[in-house]
Chain A
Amino acid sequence: MKLALLADLHSNLEAVEACIEHAHGEGADRFAFLGDLVGYNADPAAVVDLIRAYAKEGAIVVKGNHDAATAGELSHMAGAAADVVAWTRRQLNADQLTFLAELPPTAREGDMFFVHANAHSPERWGYIHDGWRAAVSMDAAQATYVFGGHVHTPMLYYMGADQRPQPFEPASGVPIPVPRHRRWLSIVGACGQPRDGNPAACYAVFEPDRELLTYWRVPYDYDSAARKLRAAGLPEEFARRLETGA
């Protein structure tokens, strides 16, 4: 099996399509979408429809905070992001909103655990910024592999000799051995809104049989995504973010 993992898609159809195409090129035969299908960008309906189609074919999909907010379950969203949530709601039909509302907060399959933010309190959306928080999440997940997003920067935490997870910044396209006798927490990076200074979309491919995890950076047409965002009257800062990755 080759499992492609995408998180923080954020209504960015150009980025999502580019990553999915790349993943097919890499031989991916399964997909997991780790939350925040919507928010920030201009194509919520198209992205939700695309992921629904994948979900029908067995893809793993979990809920993100932007999905919860759009479905009306979460009210405390910050400033400009909240405006986009309201706008996004207006773009989606009842079916699409129901799909978001019914997404599970977590998923488990074998020794893999999938969650948008963290495993210890999935629906409080706390960020994993350091090894200590990664350890709490890994302990709560009770799984060898924990996959998530929410933090928009790709990162791999691994349980070190002293039981304190160490952060590792992955390089694009380098297969990383992730043997099962250790525990791993992978933040696959943002597909639809990277924030680490590199505007290329992030995703990862996991091969459970070979115990290999490969992070990828995929260049995509962010000019078009930013143009649509501006045409829809969404906040300029989010268009800039696509262009700079900052």
Chain B
Amino acid sequence: MLKPGDEIDGFRVTERVHAGGMAVLYRVSPPRDTGFPVIMKVPRLAPGDDAVSVVSLEVEQMMLGALRGPHVPRLVAAGDLARQPYLAMEYIEGPSLDDWLAKAPLSAPEIVRLMMPLASAVHQLHCQQFVHLDIKPSNVMYRASGEAVLVDLGLGHHAHLPDLLAEESRKAVGSAPYMAPEQVVGVRCDPRSDIFALGAVMYELATGELPFGKPASTSGLRRRLYRDPVPPRALRPEIPGWLQEIILRCLEVDARRRYATAAQLAFDLGQAEQVVITERGRRLKRQGAWTRFKRWLRAAGWEPMPCPPPTEQISTAPIVLVAVATEHDQAGQAEALQEAVKHIASMDADYRIAVVTVIRPFPLLGTSRPEESGGKLHIRHLVQLRHWAAPLGLPADRLTCHVIEGSDPAAALLKYARVNQVDQIVIGAPPVMAAPELGVSYKPLLETVASRVVLEASCTVTLVRPRLTLVAPRRVERGGIAGV
């Protein structure tokens, strides 16, 4: 243990913050100003010891070095592993998600408020090929901005870096209450394992209980392969069906039945009213003995499937925003957009389509025309969106419709895309401005919504244009018929 005043490589210890099982954390003052507070993590065992605590420190160093963005602490320095292993990194003051556990069960809106930024953060890390594999309340911190930060990356896996914790013996690594079934049998590469852990965390926040208890033995850990948790609503009937639907979907044993991406989980949390509630969301009892027995048999011979690298998994499950103009639409544009969406839906297995239109905000005191007052106008546009989407024949859990208010439609669409981590925006192209061969030529007077979306979106934007039916006037050929 270090004492205040001790110094390592120029870092002076100011206080001990936390003494965990694997490592001790100290606040330190760094030799050079970093612009943010710094913490030092020192593993518990003597250097040179090839114990898990040292290896996981090495893993954490590798991950912090490879990852970017606000969702992990910034790495400041790392000690020589053979001499004095330590990691100096940004100190995230918190609060920690752990702080809310004492108050659990929490209300549904509070759970959404805490889980949405967390699911977004997990998605951002998956986009960087990283799987955390040890998500639990004490490893989740929040910045003042509301962004979630994942700490303790020492059990993580990066699809493009060697896995120092992989062993042929396939030992389960992680935290027992939150660990996914595939982790129990030693799989360390499936991004959907993190989605399972998010489900376990949500279950705990919603009920105050752990879905699988705190098993200490291997057989206890394995139980989650065949025994389903008590449905949250059986413990607390006030939990809404949509929340139970979301939680139990995350906790599916078969990773393919969970949310395909953390972005899709965040997406559903953000629009509870449109979550399709299946039997999963309604059930009040655990599965019966016969089902349990069948699941036990299946679990006994269970071999997990090879896991998809995070970005490959994400690429099969895009969130697609389709901007539909419910007013002032060009001829043929609605049909052209439908065609484009059908094409996307036919390619990707786990797509989600969000059909969005932007309307002007309503004056607070209503308008002179009562039929145009807020709620009614909103519904009128929603009905139009649903009418537009109906011919696509897409399943209800794949397509949602949203009317958003904003005086600046491009800004509203861009914000929606950013908040929901949209992978692709499909939007009608501006009218043809110059096509000399078709006899069209006029200068654009104003920047269009579509052109601004193209310039500012941080994802793929697909511009859709109806096939041009405009035919240029042709010369009258001798003996021919005049062109249309």
Interface of A with B (CB < 8 Å)? 131, 156, 158, 160-162, 164, 166, 168, 170-171, 174, 176-177, 179-181
B146 within 8 A of partner (CB) = no
Is A162 touching B162 in the complex (CB atoms < 8 A)? no
Please tell me which one of the listed residues A164, A168, A177, A179 contacts residue B168 in the complex, with CB atoms under 8 A apart: A164
Q: Is the interface of B mostly helix, strand, loop or mixed?
A: loop
A–B Cβ pairs within 8 angstroms, 19 of them: A160-B164, A160-B167, A161-B50, A161-B165, A162-B167, A162-B168, A166-B162, A166-B166, A168-B161, A171-B159, A171-B160, A174-B161, A176-B160, A177-B61, A177-B62, A177-B65, A177-B161, A179-B58, A181-B81
Contact with A along B146-162 (1 / 0, CB 8 A): 00000000000001111
Q: Give Cα A39–Cα B65 distance, bound, in whole angstroms.
A: 41
Q: Give Cα A166–Cα B165 distance, bound, in whole angstroms.
A: 10
Q: Give Cα A164–Cα B164 distance, bound, in whole angstroms.
A: 11
Is A164 touching B167 in the complex (CB atoms < 8 A)? yes
B390 within 8 A of partner (CB) = no
Q: List chain A residues, Cβ under 8 A from B164.
A: 158, 160-161
Q: How large is the interface on B (under 10, 10 to 19, 20 to 34, 35 or more residues)?
A: 20 to 34
Q: List chain B residues, Cβ under 8 A from A162.
A: 167-169
Is A156 touching B162 in the complex (CB atoms < 8 A)? yes
Q: List chain A residues, Cβ under 8 A from B62.
A: 177
Q: Give Cα A176–Cα B160 distance, bound, in whole angstroms.
A: 8
Residue of A nearest to B81 (CB): A181
Q: Give Cα A131–Cα B65 distance, bound, in whole angstroms.
A: 27
Interface of B with A (CB < 8 Å)? 50, 52, 55, 58, 61-62, 65, 81-82, 159-169
Is A176 touching B167 in the complex (CB atoms < 8 A)? no
Q: Give, as a whole number of angstroms, the nearest-CB distance from B284 to chain A.
A: 45
Q: Give, as a whole number of angstroms, the nearest-CB distance from A16 to chain B.
A: 26
Q: List chain B residues, Cβ under 8 A from A174.
A: 160-161
Is B162 touching A158 in the complex (CB atoms < 8 A)? yes
Is B81 touching A176 in the complex (CB atoms < 8 A)? no
Q: Give Cα A156–Cα B164 distance, bound, in whole angstroms.
A: 12
- 18 extra A-B contacts, CB within 8 A, seeds A177-B161, A180-B82: A158-B162, A158-B164, A160-B164, A160-B166, A161-B50, A161-B52, A161-B165, A161-B167, A162-B169, A164-B168, A166-B162, A168-B163, A170-B160, A174-B161, A176-B161, A177-B61, A177-B62, A181-B81
Q: Give, as a whole number of angstroms, the nearest-CB distance from B364 to chain A.
A: 54
Q: Give Cα A174–Cα B168 distance, bound, in whole angstroms.
A: 25
Residue of B nearest to A160 (CB): B167
Q: List chain B residues, Cβ under 8 A from A180.
A: 82
Q: Give, as a whole number of angstroms, the nearest-CB distance from A187 to chain B.
A: 13
Is A161 touching B55 in the complex (CB atoms < 8 A)? yes
Q: Give, as a whole number of angstroms, the nearest-CB distance from A133 to chain B.
A: 14
Q: Give Cα A151–Cα B107 distance, bound, in whole angstroms.
A: 58
Q: Give Cα A181–Cα B162 distance, bound, in whole angstroms.
A: 15
Q: Give Cα A181–Cα B61 distance, bound, in whole angstroms.
A: 14
Q: List chain B residues, Cβ under 8 A from A171.
A: 159-160
Q: Give, as a whole number of angstroms, the nearest-CB distance from B22 to chain A.
A: 14
Residue of B nearest to A164 (CB): B168
Q: Give, as a whole number of angstroms, the nearest-CB distance from B194 to chain A.
A: 21
Q: List chain B residues, Cβ under 8 A from A160.
A: 164, 166-167
Q: Give Cα A179–Cα B83 distance, bound, in whole angstroms.
A: 13
Q: Give Cα A156–Cα B58 distance, bound, in whole angstroms.
A: 18
Q: Which 7 A-B pairs have the closest CB atoms?
A: A168-B162, A174-B160, A171-B160, A181-B82, A181-B81, A158-B162, A162-B167
Please tell me which one of the listed residues A131, A164, A176 contacts residue B162 in the complex, with CB atoms under 8 A apart: A176
Q: Give Cα A162–Cα B164 distance, bound, in whole angstroms.
A: 10
Q: List chain B residues, Cβ under 8 A from A168.
A: 161-163
Q: Give, as a whole number of angstroms, the nearest-CB distance from B87 to chain A.
A: 13
Q: Give Cα A84–Cα B278 distance, bound, in whole angstroms.
A: 66
Q: Give Cα A118–Cα B162 distance, bound, in whole angstroms.
A: 21
Residue of A nearest to B52 (CB): A161
Q: Give, as a whole number of angstroms, the nearest-CB distance from A165 to chain B.
A: 10
Is A166 touching B55 in the complex (CB atoms < 8 A)? no
Residue of A nearest to B80 (CB): A181
Q: List chain A residues, Cβ under 8 A from B52.
A: 161
Q: Give Cα A162–Cα B167 distance, bound, in whole angstroms.
A: 7
Q: Give Cα A174–Cα B52 distance, bound, in whole angstroms.
A: 25
Q: List chain A residues, Cβ under 8 A from B160.
A: 170-171, 174, 176
Q: Give Cα A161–Cα B167 distance, bound, in whole angstroms.
A: 8
Q: Give Cα A179–Cα B81 distance, bound, in whole angstroms.
A: 9
Q: Give Cα A200–Cα B52 distance, bound, in whole angstroms.
A: 38
Q: Give, as a whole number of angstroms, the nearest-CB distance from B115 to chain A.
A: 31
Q: List chain A residues, Cβ under 8 A from B168.
A: 131, 162, 164, 166
Q: List chain A residues, Cβ under 8 A from B166.
A: 160, 166
Among B161, B162, B163, which residue has the most Cβ atoms of chain A within 10 A?
Answer: B162
Q: Give Cα A156–Cα B61 distance, bound, in whole angstroms.
A: 19
Q: List chain B residues, Cβ under 8 A from A164.
A: 167-168
